[in-house]
Amino acid sequence: MSPPACFIFGAGPFFGLPVSPAPGDVVFAADGGYRHCQAAGLQPDLLLGDFDSLNDLPKGIPIHTFPVEKDDTDTMLAIKYGLKEGYRTFHLYGGTGGRPDHTLANLQALGFLAQAGATGYLYGKSYLFTALRNGSLTLPARKEGIFSLFCLGQEAQGVSIHGAQYPLDRVPVSPFFPIGVSNHFQGNPVTIQVETGCLLIGWEIP
């Protein structure tokens, strides 16, 4: 049985719920992400943020209010709270497809989670992103489809890709050149490994 996961709903566009909370999981709504919880038929366990995009606060839900002028986005506030509560798997919805600066912030948040020893998944309209730090990840076999990887932070060392159309074997990957963009599944599981550093990995989802 998998450990409980933390589901976080941001205020960006919501494209559905490919992975739903299971019994024991926790649901946080970050500001206007509360509306997405309503659309998905979920009652959040916590509502938090500066509430610049949610005017009427619901009753019967724990609420944490923060000032508008702060260093953390509302989604990052929810991530930090989830880490503090001991969660190590995070599913992020409503975090892509709206303002590009918030999309980039949420992609960086995946690196923040990886650096903290946790795993985050950021769901877009047709793409799923995660971050991998000093380890390996195997994507299930698919007959076709695209995946990409990018370096987060300092140059990643010892990057390998096995089972894809374009393999790599223990090469450095720079944050300034997109060598890992638009690789292809070929019917095999795809294993991605990074010996030192952090990679942002994204792949198409139905």
**Strand-pair category, 168-173 with 127-139:** unpaired
- 45 phi and psi angles, rounded to 5 deg: -80, -20
- pLDDT score at 159: 98
What's the CATH class of domain 6-125? alpha beta
- pLDDT score at 98: 83
Summarised one tens digit per residue, pLDDT across range 66-93 is: 988 888 999 999 999 999 999 999 999 9
- pLDDT score at 20: 95
Report residue 55's pLDDT band, with 50, 70 and 90 as the boundaries. confident
Q: Average pLDDT for residues 48-76, to the nearest whole number?
A: 88
For residue 113, pLDDT beyond 90: yes
Least confident stretch, 3-17, 30-44, 49-63: 49-63
Report residue 52's pLDDT band, with 50, 70 and 90 as the boundaries. confident
Q: List the domain boundaries for the chain.
A: 6-125, 131-204
For residue 28, pLDDT beyond 80: yes
Summarised one tens digit per residue, pLDDT across range 145-194 is: 999 999 999 999 999 999 999 999 999 999 999 999 999 999 999 999 99
- Strand ranges (E), 71-188: 89-93, 119-123, 127-139, 146-162, 168-173, 183-184
Q: Are the CB atoms for 71 and 112 separated by under 8 Å?
A: no
Report residue 206's pLDDT band, with 50, 70 and 90 as the boundaries. confident
3-state SS, residue 110: helix
Tokens standing for residue 40: 């998905």
Percent of the chain with pLDDT over 70: 100
When the pLDDT of each residue in the chain is averaged and rounded to a whole number, the result is 95
- pTM of the model as a whole: 0.94
For residue 109, pLDDT beyond 80: yes
Domain at 131-204, CATH homologous superfamily: Thiamin pyrophosphokinase, thiamin-binding domain (2.60.120.320)
- pLDDT score at 110: 98
Instruction: List CB contacts of 195: < 8 A, sequence separation 6 or more.
Output: 134, 157, 158, 159, 170
- Strand ranges (E), the chain: 6-9, 26-30, 46-49, 63-65, 89-93, 119-123, 127-139, 146-162, 168-173, 183-184, 190-204
Cα gap 170→44, rounded to integer Å:
43
Report residue 2's pLDDT band, with 50, 70 and 90 as the boundaries. confident
For residue 104, pLDDT beyond 80: yes
- pLDDT score at 67: 84
What is the residue whose two structure tokens read 């986005």? 73
Domains 6-125 and 131-204 agree in fold: no
